[in-house]
Amino acid sequence: MRRRAALLATAALAPAAALGQVVASPGKGEFWFDPTQLPSFTGTVERYLPNPRGETDALIFREGPQIVFPPDIADAVRQAAPPGKPLVAWGIRARSAPVITMLAFAPSADAAPTVLDRFYWRLGGRQPLEHAAHLAVAGTVKQPYYTPQGEVAGAVLEDGTVVLVPQGAAEGAKDLLKAGAKLAAEGIGSEGEAGRALLASALGEAPGALKPLPR
């Protein structure tokens, strides 16, 4: 009887787990519309961007725009377009910033597109893992780091390091997050093969001039 109950519980949970997965395969996906009817954005991948959890959920085109996508499909996107290679992304561009939420992608306009099954608003990707490392970074800002909605949420340094700030803190630190600004930061995050990213607890123009951020 207990075994039967366990099997029933497993069967009940399986569909719920499947809902959280991303479809990343050639075809129509799960949308009620064809994402490839949306505007397409073509560029050369300059680098992939990690978040403080150690996941990859964005990239930068050499031409400037940021493309955001679910971490689940990062390997598929990277396989289609390694750094230095072209990528076609279909999606939605924010009104106020050069950031595109990807809904389909392909290595070229002639290739069959891979279609995602959901939007990615990066709702939880900014929070580091519970046992994240303490990091200290410094460098020159390459460009602001945007949310999919086009809000400034931090900065990308010239070496690819991602510095995020707590929600609501970007306005008070906007001069430090502009392209060309000198930026030093401390916080918790991840550093590894995917790159380096942290959620800052303090920012400044130099390591010796850090000021705490509101949380």
How do residues 184-215 score in pLDDT, each as one tens digit?
999 999 999 889 999 999 999 999 999 999 87
Q: What is the structure's pLDDT at 68? A: 96
Q: Domain range spanning residue 150? A: 133-207
In a shared domain, residues 141 and 104: no
In a shared domain, residues 103 and 160: no
In a shared domain, residues 89 and 145: no
In a shared domain, residues 108 and 147: no
The CATH number that applies at residue 174 is 2.40.50.140
In a shared domain, residues 154 and 198: yes
Q: What is the structure's pLDDT at 67? A: 97
pLDDT of residue 1 exceeding 90, the answer is no
Closest C-alpha to 201, from 129, 153, 136: 136
In a shared domain, residues 39 and 73: yes
The CATH number that applies at residue 46 is 2.40.50
- The answer to whether position 127 is within a domain reads no
- The answer to whether position 17 is within a domain reads no
In a shared domain, residues 89 and 137: no
Which residue would you say has higher pLDDT here, 26 or 128? Answer: 128
Q: What is the structure's pLDDT at 31? A: 57
- The answer to whether position 181 is within a domain reads yes
Which residue would you say has higher pLDDT here, 9 or 126? Answer: 126
Question: What percent of the chain stands above pLDDT 90?
Answer: 70
- The answer to whether position 72 is within a domain reads yes
In a shared domain, residues 39 and 111: yes
Q: How many domains does the chain have?
A: 2
- The answer to whether position 194 is within a domain reads yes
In a shared domain, residues 39 and 110: yes
Residues with Cβ < 8 Å from 102, sequence gap 6 or more?
A: 67, 68, 69, 77, 89, 90, 91, 116, 120
Alpha carbon dihedral 191, 192, 196, 197, in 10-degree steps, equals: -60
- The answer to whether position 3 is within a domain reads no
Q: What is the structure's pLDDT at 85? A: 98
- The answer to whether position 175 is within a domain reads yes
In a shared domain, residues 102 and 49: yes
Tell me which of 60, 83, 115 is where a domain ends. 115
pLDDT of residue 56 exceeding 60, the answer is yes
3-state SS, one letter per residue, for the chain? CHHHHHHHHHHHHHHHHHHCCCCCEECCCCCCCCHHHCCEEEEEEEEEEECCCCCEEEEEECCCCEEECCHHHHHHHHHHCCCCCEEEEEEEECCCCCEEEEEEEECCCCCCCEECCCCCCCCCCCCCCCCCEEEEEEEEEEEEEECCCCCEEEEEECCCCEEECCCCCCHHHHHHCCCCCEEEEEEEEEEECCEEEEEEEEEECCHHHCEECCC
Q: What is the structure's pLDDT at 9? A: 38
pLDDT band at 75 (very low <50, low <70, confident <90, very high): very high
* Sign, Cα dihedral of 214, 152, 116, 197: negative
Q: What is the structure's pLDDT at 124? A: 55
Over the chain, what is the mean pLDDT? 85
pLDDT of residue 63 exceeding 50, the answer is yes
- Averaged pLDDT for residues 107-132: 80
pLDDT of residue 115 exceeding 50, the answer is yes
Q: The whole model's pTM is what?
A: 0.82
- The answer to whether position 42 is within a domain reads yes
Closest C-alpha to 203, from 187, 179, 180, 215: 187
- Say which amino acid occupies 122: R
- Averaged pLDDT for residues 62-80: 95
pLDDT of residue 18 exceeding 80, the answer is no
Tell me which of 115, 149, 175 is where a domain ends. 115
In a shared domain, residues 100 and 161: no
Q: What is the structure's pLDDT at 42? A: 96
